[in-house]
Homo-oligomer: A and B are copies of this chain.
């Protein structure tokens, strides 16, 4: 069975979508002109919903896509995908129309919601940690697009193509200067003494909502949370390293290149904080 057939409740602009459903003229398709969010829905409800919405609005402002938040949030409030465990994906595009790249006279933004089953990641990703592939694909720099979760994701698609099969569970991606940015679909943290560092997202990369939440929680727990520069060497030399996103939570790194490590205490603390807040 293909992934496609598992999609529940496809909605477009507040109503169940007809088969197919999206206009061939939508600028989300034509130019990747929009943003998205992927929201875990656990037994305790949507996870980090307000942070997801904050980033969505930040992305829309950055692209100068005007949306009525009252309309969007009333559609989200009645969306049945939030009534079951799984993952809800929200896409907001600039809508159909305009003339070429110009946005003048384009239609109102398109709101697309879909609901997907809980991801079936092996439990050992969480329990023992993951094996990380060193991606050759570099992220290019573009300050105005950095941080937001826009629909131009070919760099991630190319990076993800670099490995196949079950040997690796994530990839480590560098910027064009050779510094660590993130995983292909996660953010990354390293720990050195009481400092918990994640790469600053200024030139490229996605500012993940779980990354944001963990930075706050580590401060509460007495750690020194830092957004800064991370070299591949310091990734390897740190006391610990782990990945996170808002769908799976926290995965320790078990293997990278010739190195293997056991899951460390800060990764376990992060997992505990996440599971105490939400039933992931």
Residues of A within 8 A of B (CB): 2-4, 7, 10, 12, 17-33, 36, 63-64, 91, 93-94, 96-105, 107, 112, 114, 137-138, 140-142, 144-145, 150-161, 164, 176, 184-185
Contacts and interface: CB of A to CB of B under 8 A. Distances in A.
A109 to B, nearest CB: 14
A144 to B, nearest CB: 6
B36 A101 contact: no
Contact of A31 (B23, B64, B93, B154): B154
B97 A3 contact: yes
B153 A30 contact: yes
A157 to B, nearest CB: 5
A157 B103 CA distance: 8
Copies of this chain in the oligomer:
2
B24 A22 contact: yes
A4 B138 CA distance: 36
A99 B3 contact: yes
Given A30-B36, A32-B154, A141-B176, 6 more contacts: A12-B24, A22-B24, A22-B29, A29-B91, A31-B157, A145-B154
Contact of A21 (B22, B107, B185): B22
A103 B2 CA distance: 12
A9 to B, nearest CB: 10
A4 B156 CA distance: 31
Given A24-B10, A29-B22, A152-B32, A103 B160 contact: yes
Contacts of A36: 30
A100 B23 contact: no
A140 B22 CA distance: 30
Contacts of A2: 96-97, 105, 107
Contacts of A97: 2-4
Contacts of A152: 31-32, 152-154
B63 A154 contact: yes
A156 B94 CA distance: 14
A98 B184 CA distance: 15
A160 B100 CA distance: 9
A17 B94 CA distance: 22
A151 B93 CA distance: 14
A104 B153 CA distance: 16
A101 B20 CA distance: 21
